[in-house]
Amino acid sequence: MGKLHDQALLKYASYWQGNWQSAARSFNVTNPANGEIIGTVADATAADAKKAVAAADTAQADWAARPAAERAKLLMRWQQLMLEHQDDLGLLLTLEQGKPLAEAKGEIAYGASYLEWFAEEAKRVYGDTIPAKSSDQRIIVLKQPVGVVAAITPWNFPNAMIARKAAAALAAGCTFVVKPAQLTPLSALAMAELADRAGIPAGVFNVVVSTDAKAIGKVLTEDPRVAKFSFTGSTNIGKQLAKQCADTVKRVSLELGGNAPFIVFDDADLDAAIDGLMASKFRNAGQTCVCTNRILVQDRVLDAFTEKLQQAIGKLKLGNGTDDKVDIGPLISDEACDKVDELLQQATENGAKVHCGGKRQAADSLFYLPTLVTGVNNDMALAQQEIFGPVAAIQSFNDEAEAIKLANATEFGLAAYFYSRDIGRIWRAAEGLHYGMVGVNEGMISNPVAPFGGVKQSGYGREGSKYGLADYMDIKYLCLGGLDK
Ligand code: NAP
């Protein structure tokens, strides 16, 4: 931590009402690369979460009443500060989350890009006028902020998952309370410090850090002052939280788990497909919701593709994210490594073959060796659950119809990818894949101008793009009557 240029970015307490808040208890944040404690953070309670919601509620009317251009200026200032401190924020993120420094800095730029995008979009929230059915009436549609927004975010993108929600909420005129994952609170708190420096008013952006996710989640989903709840995390927890929101009929957005297929058709440019796959599979050590989970390769190119993939995997460098030229950092926890072990063991017991990797680098480390496994089928847990580790699992298929059927045979529907050069096949596959996002000859699809989100049990709602503000706005219709008199 001594390496941070700006030590004031290190905050160890929740932030609401524009103040850093102490707590009776605290918890440690550790570096997954070596187990070192990197900070001790005040552990907020449910009562604290209520106070944070109260702060957001108090600030709501003033924030909503400000001209969009004024909110936009503050968001732009926040974005600039994030970029000015990209190195420090990136380092902090690597230390608590483990991803390689270059990726961590990339995440800061990615998070900041949502602040920029929604600062611009804030100025373009247009209403409508609708031709009335009667000559003495006029019909007008206004868009207004929903009110206080509460959010819960995961550890795999400690900065960007917050930025993606907060940018849209604040741009729309909503105040915001977030509970980040307990494994990665420091990035969220550094964002609060920069929001404060940017001049974002007290109560508009609040962060509650806690080890008691259940209790904080109960407040954020059940408090009637919260108008909208936005969650990014696992499908199981998302379902529970959506149920909790039902009693107060909150607006809900869910960005949940995925099980992305990556289809390689026999007319694909195999080298391009390898590049796309390496980015989509191994980024963040395979711990992203849009990571390729199942690689489906057409029989005719199976051997050639597998050989190229094994060569590419052999070049990956595993190591501490702060070391030079590292491609893959540690997994987030012991449980994460155990889960990958279990999925691989079950697959090999059922006939799959591990070509490389397949275990931790050392028994007591969280570094998992990049793994290639073939002979997988869609019934295996390896193909039906999120692997969330650096495992490339290959299945084969015979024809296009089989590929689409296999790809859709999952309860998830977040991201899918396929490689082909045939224009007819490209349209058929793009339309046939039951997913919220499809990369066609492209392995990296996330950016602020596009609508990010899923279908089926991957959730609902969209983040980013011109659609991203809609989740944070109510539509109000005005009927002006008596105009003929
Ligand atoms: P998770 O266990 O669902 O946790 C996500 C967040 O929910 C964390 O802040 C966690 O807090 C909190 N939480 C856990 N149990 C809770 C409860 N009972 N009540 C209220 N909050 C609770 O998921 P994860 O393992 O951290 O993250 C990985 C998952 O996120 C994967 O499934 C991945 O696909 C998904 N994800 C989806 C997207 C997307 O955009 N669709 C993006 C990134 C990740 P604590 O950590 O403090 O326990």
Q: Model confidence over 378-406: pLDDT tens digits?
A: 999 999 999 999 999 999 999 999 999 99
- Regions of the chain with pLDDT less than 70: 2
Cα 453 to middle of ligand 1, angstroms: 15
Output the pLDDT for position 485. Answer: 76
Output the pLDDT for position 12. Answer: 98
Indicate if ligand 1 lies below 6 Å from the C-beta of 256. Answer: yes
- Residue 73, number of CB atoms within 10 A of its CB: 16
* Cα separations in angstroms, 130 against 133, 138, 479, 484: 9, 7, 10, 17
- Sheet (strand 138-145) strand order: 128-130, 138-145, 473-480
Output the pLDDT for position 200. Answer: 98
Atom 30 of ligand 1: nearest residue by CA position: 233
CA angle, corner 78, sides to 223 and 97, nearest 5? 75
Q: Model confidence over 345-358: pLDDT tens digits?
A: 999 999 999 999 99
Output the pLDDT for position 350. Answer: 97
Indicate if ligand 1 lies below 6 Å from the C-beta of 290. Answer: no
Indicate if ligand 1 lies below 6 Å from the C-beta of 152. Answer: yes
Torsions phi, psi of 356, nearest 5? -155, 160
Q: Which domains does the chain have, with CATH numbers?
A: 7-256+458-477 (3.40.605.10), 260-448 (3.40.309.10)
Atom 20 of ligand 1: nearest residue by CA position: 217
Indicate if ligand 1 lies below 6 Å from the C-beta of 413. Answer: no
Cα 153 to middle of ligand 1, angstroms: 6
* Separation of alpha carbons 127 and 142, rounded Å: 5
Atom 9 of ligand 1: nearest residue by CA position: 181
Cα 256 to middle of ligand 1, angstroms: 8
Output the pLDDT for position 1. Answer: 72
Q: Which residues pair with 207 in a beta bridge?
A: 15, 178
Q: Model confidence over 1-37: pLDDT tens digits?
A: 768 999 999 999 999 999 999 999 999 999 999 999 9
Cα 231 to middle of ligand 1, angstroms: 8
